[in-house]
Amino acid sequence: MHYPALSAEAIEYLAIRPEGIYLDATTGLGGHTREIARRLSTGFVIANDRDADSLAQAREYTREFAARIQFHHGTFSDLQEAVAEHGVQKVDGLLADLGVSRYQLTAPHRGFSILADGPLDMRMDQSQRTTAGDLVNSAAEKALADWIYQCGEERRARKIARAIVRARPIRSTLHLAGVVERAVPRTGRLHPATRTFMALRMVVNDEQRELDRLLSIAPDLVRSGGRIVMISFMSLEDRKVKEKFRALGREGRGTVLTKHPVTPSEQEIGENPPSRSAKLRAVEIK
Ligand SMILES: C[S@@+](CC[C@H](N)C(=O)[O-])C[C@H]1O[C@@H](n2cnc3c(N)ncnc32)[C@H](O)[C@@H]1O
């Protein structure tokens, strides 16, 4: 069973018109794409993701609505081309559900998992060259510490970076998780390597820059009266989305529809605990 986070809320804020054209920038396994497509008549949805594996699964999951979906393999930086390729100038709505999918996070061979052994990979797009293993085994200690501190918001970053450099070569996800666990004691519920894994994943996939790029091009991809809906799972990302949407409001280019972020209901969290940290924000373009 696949649970896209805040699905009903995303659909509500997109205010879907059956003849409209939508862009799902992060199709993943196709959960949100499917919900959009099923509400369309003559319209269609461009379903984009940088992960070809996920797109193949999304194709299966959305087969029933295939006539209303155009798939596209690319990053946020390629979205302008994705839209133009389908003969569209502006879309009626853009959805981005940021981060990694459950599939990416839990499939051991993708190397994101802290709990199952796998290669230190973490590339969302497997045609990309640099893997987490390349960073872990060849980056300077200072660079590792800065990434873990800034992207992972991990206070014990220096200690962790030192332990990583000493333990090189690090061969697998569980090897790395063990090195971090021995370097810093567990505090609270999180595995001590959670933030380190998150930081590496963000660097491997250049996630901060990709989000900045998305936030800068999204308003130009959406027609006047159309909407942008974004779901984020990390405070760093939600902050960027919030600031961009507020700036659009101040500049008279958009109307913020969510004064406070929309979060999942108790029921959704009960059924799908990973949705716990999801935050949705929406803006209407003027
Ligand atoms: C949280 S998942 C989306 C799940 C999806 N909404 C669903 O219902 O299955 C995020 C997806 O965004 C993709 N992604 C993340 N950053 C991206 C980027 N810069 N360009 C394109 N896709 C990206 C990931 O590969 C992943 O499949």
Can you say how many angstroms the Cα of residue 156 is from the centroid of all Cα atoms in its chain? 25
Radius of gyration of the chain (CA): 19
φ, ψ (nearest 5 deg) of residue 281: -130, 150
Give the separation between CA 50 and CA 41, rounded to whole angstroms: 27
Per-residue tokens: 278: 């999801």
Strands 69-73 and 254-256, by their bridges, are: unpaired
From 32, 49, 230, 237, mutation site for ligand 1 pocket: most ligand atoms within 8 A of C-beta: 49
Under-50 pLDDT residues of the chain: none
Q: How open is the CA angle 39-42-47, to the nearest 5 degrees?
A: 65
Question: Which residue's CA is the nearest one to ligand 1's atom 3?
Answer: 28
Instruction: State residue 36's pLDDT score.
Output: 98
What is the residue whose two structure tokens read 């018109």? Answer: 17
Its pTM stands at 0.96
Instruction: State residue 1's pLDDT score.
Output: 56
Question: Which residue's CA is the nearest one to ligand 1's atom 12?
Answer: 26
Per-residue tokens: 238: 């939600």
Structure letter (DSSP) for residue 67: G
Instruction: State residue 107's pLDDT score.
Output: 95
